[in-house]
Structure 1
Amino acid sequence: MLRFEHIEFLWGLALVPVLIILFFRVSRWKKKARARLGDPDVIKQIMPEVSFSKPWLKFVIFTLAYTMLVIGLANPQIGSKMEEVKRKGADLMILLDVSNSMLAQDLAPDRLENAKRAIAQLIDNLHDDRIGMIVFAGQAYVQLPITSDYSAARLFLNTINTGMVPTQGTAIGEAIAMGMRSFDFKDGMSKAMIVMTDGENHEDDAVAAAAASREKDVAIHVIGLGSAEGAPVPLYKNGKVAGFHTDSAGHTVVSKLNEDMCRQIAAAGGGAYVRATNGNSGLNIVMDEIGKMQRKEYGSKSFKDFEDRFQVFLTIAFFLILIEFFIYNRKNRRLSRLKLFEVKKP
């Protein structure tokens, strides 16, 4: 496996095409300037020791040296050993509500972004546990299968928005059932789900789904997003609020947290219920409960050692710079006297 320890240095390679363009422009300017002085053959006789090809050779060598230097500073590394690393963890599935009501701004900046920030903090604090994500509104979809790749989890989290599920609603029961299908119960690892929702527009039997999961020792924890007073659901146009959702009578719809439903789901699933606030997402309390779960060892392959290879590229860069330094723009007098291909006139 190849990786770069300081990948940000590779941005220096963007300077290479700029150098090439500048060199070509300067070369054309010099050529035009010489053409204004007179006939090219006459100019060569006037300046017999000046080489017009060596600047090109020097530039090519300099560009190669610069490229090797940038790659060396980025420090390419090669993974030398792949071994089975034993980890001890549990499986955690996040069920995130992405219905339009999650755009209500009774939590800053809105309910969905508040939840995503909390999940990002959760991922940062995970070590050996595996994580997956399911998004739901009127239907549920697996956004990220169970994985120990936290970088992938952050990437998928950033793509979540309310437009990714076309059917509106809050199908919590379907999301819980999909979470159960996503688990591999043969591995014997402890499992739990965290439902993050406002519980509004509830349309299936989420309590029964939570009770069924508890029978298989999968705890369902619920984090309520929103407030009892509620807030209107904004309509966006070109990234800006263009109004609010209204009902059939033209009244502004106020979305409120269905706290009773959230408590019932958590109780049926044998988990904890916490209401999120602007100052506390509630995930710390839920993670304390998850921390009590029994962890089981599982294996995952990883590269144990990475060997640095910057020395090779820096050495090449040094010798190229040294060669470029000793190439003069003037012709070598001894070599210029050798006219191997000149035909003598009789």
Structure 2
Amino acid sequence: MKWVNSLSTFEIVLAAIFVLFYLSFLWRVISTTRRLGLPARRVIIKTILRTAYFGLIIVSLLGPSFGDTSREIKTVGKDIFICVDLSQSMNANDVQPSRLEKVKFELKNIVEAFNSDRIGLIMFSSEAYMQCPLTYDNNALNLFIQTLNTGMVPNFGTDFGPPLEMATEKLIADDTVLTRSKSKITILISDGEDFGDNTNEIAEELESEGITLFTLGVGTKRGSKIPIRNGYKKDNNGNEVVSQLNSSSLEDLAENTGGEYFEINESRNDVARLINAINSVEGETRDAKQVDATQNRYFYFLGLALLLMVLDVLFSVKLIKL
């Protein structure tokens, strides 16, 4: 038999004091019956009854557990790669405080929502770089998210192909027959048009491997200037560049792979919907093991104690008859 709880020293002292007082009371009652020449049998029965249910109540509070059983415990989770666009246009502030800062804030919410899953981080612009491989360490992942800035990657246009290809390779490399096509997810976050040449081929590979793709557009149709160190970014003609959200590439990519497009703008935030969509994806069984389990059977002892308490109430002791 195993015990769920244990008595502290304070509780043991209180119980001992109660027993001492009760024994003192019992001694006085037995002495009285003897002086009066009355039988003490009823008092002894009463004592045994009360001692029994008092002990049963203490046993039930300790939580007696017995009846060993074997149960299978399964660990279920997902592998999620987040690809974040770090092109200079992500510094635009049509979404406050800026597109990138808003993305970083929402990414922490996504990490918190899937703290039992493995999450990796890829940063990209014209090229893609692994910022954090798949990990359960959410604290480390949040540190990587906090350090994201547009100066970390070369900025020669936006290409969706390299980050999707890198995410696909990493997810396939960790794939097994049992987990394939069930729990591999890629999230692509960007504000711009795709200038890559092989995005469609990568998208087809994503779909064939059963990797779910969600895209998240950040920005507004109204757009905003792109702040740089000495003012705002200008084109070759000296005109200030206004960056607008170009959602068509992201929408087409999601549609072609059977995924879903979400958006963050000045009046809309689909991150909660994105989290729900990820939750709807079936997780994979990462580990299964047999564990020995026991059940708390306190109610047997408590029920018997209540029955004895009822008998105690019904069974009265009269020392003097008139």
Alignment of 1:4-83 (within 5 A): none
AA partner of residue 149 (structure 2): N
**Change in 2 beyond 3 A, CA 1:150/1:279:** farther
Question: Residues 190 and 201 from structure 1, CA distance in 2 versus in 1: closer, same or farther, beyond 3 angstroms?
Answer: closer
SS in structure 1 opposite 2:269? Answer: coil
1:213 maps to what in 2?
206
The answer to whether structure 1 residue 196 and structure 2 residue 168 are counterparts is: no
Q: Which residue of 2 aligns with 1:98?
A: 86
Report SS of the residue matched to 1:142.
strand
Q: RMSD of the TM alignment (CA)?
A: 1.9
- Distance in 2 (CA, whole Å) between partners of 1:153 and 1:86 is 25
Q: Counterpart in 2 of 1:272?
A: 260
**Displaced runs of 4 or more, over 4 A:** none
Other-structure match for 1:74: none
Q: Deviations over 1:296-335 (max 9, x none)?
A: 22249xxxxxxxxxxxxxxxxxxxxxxxxxxxxxxxxxxx
Quote the offset at 1:294 in angstroms. Answer: 1.3
Residue 135 (structure 2) pairs with residue 147 (structure 1): yes
1:126 aligns with 2:114: yes
Q: Which residue of 1 aligns with 2:70?
A: none
Q: Is the 8 A contact 2:125 2:156 kept in 1?
A: yes
Which residue in the other structure is 1:231 paired with?
224
Give the AA of the match of 2:165: A
Q: What is the CA-CA distance between 1:175 and the residue it aligns to?
A: 0.7
Point out where structure 2 has 5 or more consecutive residues left out of the alignment.
1-72, 289-322
Match status 1:254 vs 2:247: no
Q: Which amino acid aligns with 1:258?
A: N
**Structure 1 stretches lacking a partner, 5+ long:** 1-84, 237-241, 301-346
Shift of 1:126: 1.6
* Higher-Rg member (1/2): 2
Distance 2:127 2:147 in 1: 18
How much does 1:287 deviate? 1.9
Residues 321-332 of structure 1: matches in 2 within 5 Å? none
In the TM superposition, residue 129 of structure 1 has moved relative to its aligned partner by: 1.4
2: distance between equivalents of 1:103 and 1:277? 14
Q: Hey, what does 1:185 align to over in structure 2?
A: 175
Kept after mapping to 2: 8 A contact 1:221/1:269: no
Q: Counterparts of 1:111 and 1:204 in 2: how far apart (Å)?
A: 25
Equivalent residue of 1:108, what SS? coil
Q: What SS class does the counterpart of residue 200 from structure 1 fall into?
A: coil
Contact 1:207–1:264 under 8 Å retained in 2: no
How many angstroms does 1:98 deviate by? 0.3
| One-letter code aligned to 1:264 | D
One-letter amino acid of the structure 1 residue matched with residue 212 of structure 2: A
Same amino acid, percent of matched pairs = 32
Q: What amino acid does structure 2 have at the position aligned with 1:155?
A: L
Query: Does the residue aligned with 1:155 lie in a helix, a strand or coil?
Result: helix
Spell out, residue by residue over 1:232-290, the C-alpha distance to the aligned partner (whole angstroms, 9 max, x if none).
Answer: 11112xxxxx3100011100111111111110011112111011124553222122221
Q: Secondary structure at the match of 2:281?
A: coil
TM-score (norm 2): 0.62
What one-letter code is carried by the residue in structure 2 that aligns with 1:99? S
Q: Is the 2:206–2:212 Cα contact (8 Å) retained in structure 1?
A: yes
Residue number in structure 2 paired with 1:88? 76
Residue of 135, 155, 162 corresponding to 1:174 = 162
**Are the counterparts in 1 of residues 78 and 183 from structure 2 also a CA contact under 8 Å?**
yes
Partner amino acid, structure 2, of 1:204: D
Report how far residue 171 of structure 1 moved.
Answer: 1.5
Deviation at 1:89, TM superposition (A): 0.7
Contact 2:216 2:263 (8 Å CA) reproduced: yes
CA distance in 2, matches of 1:107, 1:207: 29
Distance 1:103 1:232 in 2: 9
CA distance in 1, matches of 2:247, 2:100: 17
Partner-residue secondary structure (3-state), 2:259: strand
Q: Secondary structure at the match of 1:250?
A: coil
Counterpart of 2:100 (choices 112, 132, 136) is: 112
Following TM superposition, by how much is the alpha carbon of 1:293 offset from its aligned partner in structure 2, in angstroms? 1.3
SS of alignment partner, residue 119 of structure 2: strand
- Write the distance in 2 (CA, Å) between the matches of 1:149 and 1:278: 32
